[in-house]
Structure formats: structure tokens, C-alpha cells
Amino acid sequence: MSGASLDATVAAAALRLAASGVDEARAEARLLVCEAAGIDRAVLLGHGDRPLETAAADRLEKMLTARCARMPMAQVIGRRGFWEHEFTVTTDTLTPRPESELLIEAALARADGGRALRVLDLGTGTGCLLLTLLAAWPTAWGLGIDRSGAALAVAAQNRRQLGLASRCALLQADWNDAIAGRFDVVVANPPYIPGADIAGLEPEVAVHEPRLALDGGGDGLDPYRLLFPRLAGLLAPGGFALFEHGAGQGAALDLLARQAGLTVLDRLNDLAGHDRCLVLGSPRGDKD
């Protein structure tokens, strides 16, 4: 594509993306061309007759090949916007998703951000949940836990980028390991896809995202069965936990929470109207 105009390059890239089954191929082609050429959308729209330089064409070809193989766009360009920040994303982490912002919105509305809150993120991945909350709460401290050392390396990079290294600890551990301490806010986006369903998902997820972060067992609820009975021992008095879950899983998780002796404080739907987040408190919602 070297030497072709930006407009012609976008058109050719869009055809390749569409042929590979990528939705919104034209919009994605524009994004990739801008990324490869180091320009913004305004330059692309206003100077479409400008030729694409050789180095930019080489970068574009690599990115386009990856995206046509259905690698998620966030992995192709290496980052994804979430809430008010951008987070580094790799093949070792889930891509931060808009529905997860529901947990941030709920936590900010429920907690007193002026307090020295202690925040626990179970399965931190990129760190988007924990780091977003710490950025919003300047006196808070947090701990992010993940089984994947590679994912924690990404979270550490995001921690540095946001200037939060002094207020955020990261720990490689399994949820079966003992976690010491009490926390005012617990957030988690556990794996919740039934294992047998993963192969049928879009390739961006089924092929390119880490299975460890997707597979929730036979019915998708195994992580919650493990975590809910331990939650009362992790919550400080008056604390609460927010768990993201799959659409249609809310009723079953409500029952599991009550069986574990937890208080169901709220149930939240995403913008599409699907049940997506369960807010839990310690037994009896005790605030002593």
C-alpha cells in the first residue's frame, strides 16, 4: 500500500477487513490507518489524498494481517480506553469492556471517596477496575490479585502509566490461597462463560483472549461458588463487593450469595438491559 493515498488505503483495508468478517470494517480501517501513519482522524478526513509513507505502510500491513486474523483491535494497537483512562492490553489479558464500567459507576456512587478506602480486585487482568477506582479516590489503597504473572506484568505497566505505584500492590496468587486483611470495596470480573460455550464465541474472544480469564466451568458459576463463601471474611464492616457476571446469571448468583450468608444490596443492569452486576454486603449488612 506504500505510495497509495490515505483514502485509497482505507478503502483497500476496509475490503480486506470485511472479507475477514470484521464488523464496521470501514471505521476499523480508518483507525488502523491513523494508527499506522501516526495521524488523527481529522488529518485523515482533511488530507485523504496524502500518500502513505513506506514505514507506515509496513506497520499497517502487520496490524491489518493481525486484525484480519480476528485479533481484537485492542491487542492489535496495544491499548483500550476504559472510563477516563487508556490501558495497555496484550494477549495475556482480557480487553476492558464498556459493560465493566458499570462496576466503576456503582462503586463511585456507593463509597465515600474521601475516606482512606482499602480496595481489593480479584482477577485484576489489566488492572482497569482497580486502577480506575484508585485514580478516582486519591486517598485509597488497593491490592490486585491474579493467577497470571503475564497479566500482572501488564497491570504493573498500567499502574506506572497512571502514577499509582505507591498506592497499588499486585500479587500473583490463586483464589484458593489465603488473602489476609479486610477491604472496604471488593471488585471482581471473574471468568463466567460456560466452558463448552467458548468455542462458539466470536474469534476475537474464543481464539485470542486468555481462556483462563473466560472459562467459568460447566455453568459459568464456579468462580462465584469459590469466592462467595470467603467474601464475609474479606469485607470490612460496612464494606461491599461488586461482581460482574454474564447476562441471565443474576438469579442463580443471588441464590448462591444468600446461601453463603451474604446480603444482596443491589442488582444492576447494563445499558442493554441485561443483568450484569451484583452488589453484595457482609452478613446482615452489618455496619458496626
Residue 41, pLDDT > 50, answer: yes
The string of pLDDT tens digits covering residues 88-103 is 999 999 999 999 999 9
**Residue 148 burial (CB count, 10 A):** 18
The predicted-structure confidence for 243-284, as pLDDT tens digits, reads as follows: 999 989 999 999 999 999 999 999 999 888 889 999 999 875
Give, to the nearest 10 degrees, the angle between helix 128-136 and helix 149-161. 30
| Amino acid 164: pLDDT | 98
Cell numbers that stand for 59 in this block = 506497520
Q: Round to whole Å and give the CA distance between 262 and 272.
A: 27
The residue type of 119 is V
CB-CB contact of 95 with 72 (8 Å) = yes
Question: Is the pTM value of this prediction over 0.95?
Answer: no
Residue in the block written with cell 445499558: 271
CA dist 17 and 99 (Å) reads 25
CA atoms within 13 A on the CB side of 199: 1
Q: Are 20 and 68 in contact (CB under 8 A)?
A: yes
Quote the percentage of the chain above a pLDDT of 70. 97
pLDDT reading at 1 higher than 70: no
